[in-house]
Amino acid sequence: MTLPTFGIDIAKLKFNVCLINLTGKLRHKVFPNTRTGFEQLRQWLTNQGAQSVHACMEATGTYGDSLSLFLHEAGHTVSVINPAAVKAFAGSRLSRTKTDRVDAELIARFCQAQQPPAWTPLPAEVRELQALVRRLDSLIEMRVMEENRLSSGIVVESVRASVEEHLTYLNQEIKRTEELIRNHLNNHRGLKQQSQLLDSIPGIAKTTSALLLSEITDIKQYRSARQVAAYAGLVPRERQSGTSVRGRTRLSKIGNARLRRALYFPAITAIRCSEFFQAWTRGLRERGKSKMTIICAVMRKLVHLAYGVLKTGKPFDPQWAKIA
């Protein structure tokens, strides 16, 4: 069934929309990014005779989460797409103008041409876990910034006292959030079992397993471990053309940056403490691979192992892991 396409350019306070109806006519409108604005959008679509649309928006932070859920629950098809795909589409059309109105139409045109897959909202328990894990990540970032300020040598005593007081508060909030995450995992059998499976992998502890579960939200949507690695931006990216261009192979880094950050220190821990990974990386060292290349390879291996334990429902086993 062909649906009218509906492009949404989302921002913090408002969102621009562009409706392309089945006759090809365009309709533009701006709404506040609030519950009232969502209801106004529902009425506007009804007035346009668009009872069901294929809505498309970019995955840009959390600004569009409530709207995408609202549209999904209202019975519309919703696609949440990578902004890089829309940027490439704009380049292919030689688009030179960038405004909210133009971007909404561009997203609608992309939806019409590419027919991106439908988005499905996460289960409530996964959404809550994701929110808690991301809050913990933000708190840790703030603590690092304050610790850096303190170590830089603050001269004014009142400022030093303020930073120290803030650090005390952040430490308390981090412990409280970690406890909330533990309780949340323990209160949901499926998440608890998956967390235990991930904990069996060398280098991965409870904090990392919670983040993996909050970002790799549905293992069934991936057909292979390589797809998960690509989602994390951990697949090699070659650069060569003809006989003259022979660039170094690097990580693509087109993917979930949270996953890459979360796997860095577990990879280092695995290299230092796991006999399995020490044996696995020996061949890389013998081939002259750099330290960073080896760490990236271990990060990718951890993703493959995470996919393996979650897909099979079996804990880590060094024997089958050798070929994972």
Both tokens of 13, joined, read 């306070």
User: What is the 3-state secondary structure of 179-212?
Assistant: HHHHHHHHCCHHHHHHHHHHHCCCCCCHHHHHHH
Sketch the domain layout of the chain as residue ranges: 5-114, 124-187, 206-321
Topology, domain 5-114: Nucleotidyltransferase; domain 5 (3.30.420)
- Average pLDDT taken over every residue of the chain: 88
- pTM of this structure: 0.81
3-state secondary structure of 240: strand
Cα atoms found within 13 Å of the Cα of residue 33, Cβ hemisphere only: 18
Average pLDDT for residues 208-236, to the nearest whole number?
Answer: 83
pLDDT of 126-180, one tens digit each? Answer: 999 999 999 999 999 999 999 999 998 888 999 999 999 999 999 999 999 999 9
The CA R_g of the chain, rounded to the nearest whole Å, is: 23
Residue with tokens 């007081």: 165
pLDDT of 266-320, one tens digit each? Answer: 999 999 998 899 988 988 888 888 888 889 889 999 999 999 999 889 999 887 6
Residue 99 has pLDDT above 50, yes or no: yes
- pLDDT at site 245: 43
Share of the chain above pLDDT 90, in %: 58
Assign 61 a pLDDT band (cuts: 50, 70, 90).
Answer: confident
- pLDDT at site 258: 86
Assign 323 a pLDDT band (cuts: 50, 70, 90).
Answer: low
Residue 217 has pLDDT above 80, yes or no: no
pLDDT of 223-249, one tens digit each? Answer: 888 888 888 888 765 555 455 445 455
Assign 37 a pLDDT band (cuts: 50, 70, 90).
Answer: very high
CA angle 317, 125, 56 (to 5 degrees): 105
